[in-house]
Every structure is written in structure tokens, then in C-alpha cells.
Amino acid sequence: MAIDANFEQNREVHEEENEHGVTVWGPVDPPEQLGIHGTHVAVDFDICLADGACLEDCPVDVFEWVDTPGHPESEIKAEPAHEEQCIDCMLCVDVCPVDAIDVDSGRAGRT
């Protein structure tokens, strides 16, 4: 199942700004349910497998690894900690094997 492209309408904000400066969209119930992280560049932590393709291919280093101990899919995730740097190239979307990433240039979060 891919990330919900309409998460801003379908989910509530769980946290305006986490320790990495990223908005988290619920529901969140750790460690199993971690929600969607980011707005312009959004990563569904519940389906992210942490294969690292997005970190490797992003030309502007939008992503950072964060620890997610106890999550059933992986114990690290790709946090879009620098989503304001995104240039909308869509490489992260293209390489994500489980469609856990959505980039939308029309969404809030751009500076």
C-alpha cells in the first residue's frame, strides 16, 4: 500500500515540529504506528523499509536516518529533515520500492 497522497485532508497533525523540525501526521502509536513525516516531502514511516535509495539518490540531501526502535518494518527511517531544500526532481519517489514517499510542489512547506 502506497503513501496516501491526500494525507493532509485525511489525517490530523500529530506534532507540528518534531526534534528534526518535521511535521508528523497521525495516527501515531509507537513503536508500531509512526505516521507520515513531512509535508512537502512526505515519508510514510509505517511502510518505509529503510533501503536507503532515497538518501543515496537525493541530489540535495533532504533525508537523514532516524532511529525507530521496535518498528516492525525497520528500526531506522528516512526523515525528510531538510525538505525545504527539495528541488522537486522526484528521484526519491521514483526509487522508493514501496511508494512510501510523496513530493508535492503545490503543498505547504516550501520556502
Is 40 annotated for ligand binding? no
Burial of residue 105, with CB atoms counted within 10 A of its CB: 0-12 exposed, 13-18 middle, 19 or more buried: exposed
Is 82 annotated for ligand binding? no
CATH number for region 7-99: 3.30.70.20
Distances (CA, A) of 37 to 47, 56: 12, 19
Is 92 annotated for ligand binding? yes
* pLDDT values of the chain reduced to their tens digit, one per residue, 111 residues: 899 999 999 999 999 999 999 999 999 999 999 999 999 999 999 999 999 999 999 999 999 999 999 999 999 999 999 999 999 999 999 999 999 999 986 655 443
Residue boundaries of the structural domains of the chain: 7-99
Its pTM stands at: 0.93
